[in-house]
């Protein structure tokens, strides 16, 4: 399990390659990258986070994904600071014996990360700056992982 929170850019392809390299136990590796999307007029984005809690919450989410889906390994990289459209904000990678678990674990990680990891986005465009509002749907989607 590898969790990194950093302001520096990273090379998604190189990270995915390094994660996959030399594995003989994993039949499936799934990767996801989040990119800064320009919805029209976005100049840049500032990603604020809560140092300490961010790492803790990502570790908790990754450990839960590992337990639930029997992952052999997982990687989460999330950036903070200033980002421009087209830049990679974050990535997850999961390794499991079979693809169903690798896919499900990647979705689980993303769903929880979106509403449980303390990051906040502020967008800067031609009309000024605005904090991105959380979507109710992001919270609602967690219900599908309920084990009750």
Partner 1 sequence: MDVLYFAWVRERIGLPKERIETAAPTVAALVEELSAREDRYAAAFADLSALRVAVDQDLADFDAPLVGVREVAFFPPMTGG
Per CB under 8 A, residues contacting partner 1 are 34, 47-50, 52-53, 56, 78, 89-90, 110, 113-122, 131-134, 139
Q: How far is the CB of 109 from partner 1 (least distance, A)?
A: 9
With respect to partner 1, which residue has the nearer C-beta, 49 or 96?
Answer: 49
Q: How far is the CB of 92 from partner 1 (least distance, A)?
A: 9
With respect to partner 1, which residue has the nearer C-beta, 14 or 137?
Answer: 137
Give the chain as a 3 state SS string.
CEEEEECCCCCHHHHHHHHHCCCCCCCEEEEEEEECCCCCCEEEEEEEECCCHHHHHHHHHHHHHHHHHCCCEEEEEEECEEECCCCEEEEEEEEECCHHHHHHHHHHHHHHHHHHCCEEEEEEECCEEEECCCCHHHHHHHHHHCCC
Q: How far is the CB of 84 from partner 1 (least distance, A)?
A: 18
Q: How far is the CB of 19 from partner 1 (least distance, A)?
A: 19
With respect to partner 1, which residue has the nearer C-beta, 60 or 72?
Answer: 60
């Amino acid at each position: 399990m590898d969790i990194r929170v950093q302001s520096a850019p990273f090379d998604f392809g190189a990270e995915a390659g390094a994660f996959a390299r030399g594995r003989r136990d994993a039949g499936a590796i799934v990767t996801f990258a989040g990119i800064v999307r320009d919805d029209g007029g976005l100049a840049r984005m500032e990603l604020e986070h809560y140092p300490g809690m961010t790492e803790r919450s990502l570790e908790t989410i990754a450990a839960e994904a590992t337990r639930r889906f029997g992952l052999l390994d997982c990687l989460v990289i999330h950036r903070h600071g200033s980002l421009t459209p087209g830049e990679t904000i974050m990535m997850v990678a999961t390794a499991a014996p079979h693809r169903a678990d690798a896919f499900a674990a990647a979705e689980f990680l993303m769903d929880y990360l979106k509403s449980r990891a303390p990051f906040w986005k502020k967008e800067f465009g031609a009309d000024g700056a605005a904090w991105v509002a959380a979507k109710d749907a992001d919270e609602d989607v967690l219900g599908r992982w309920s084990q009750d």
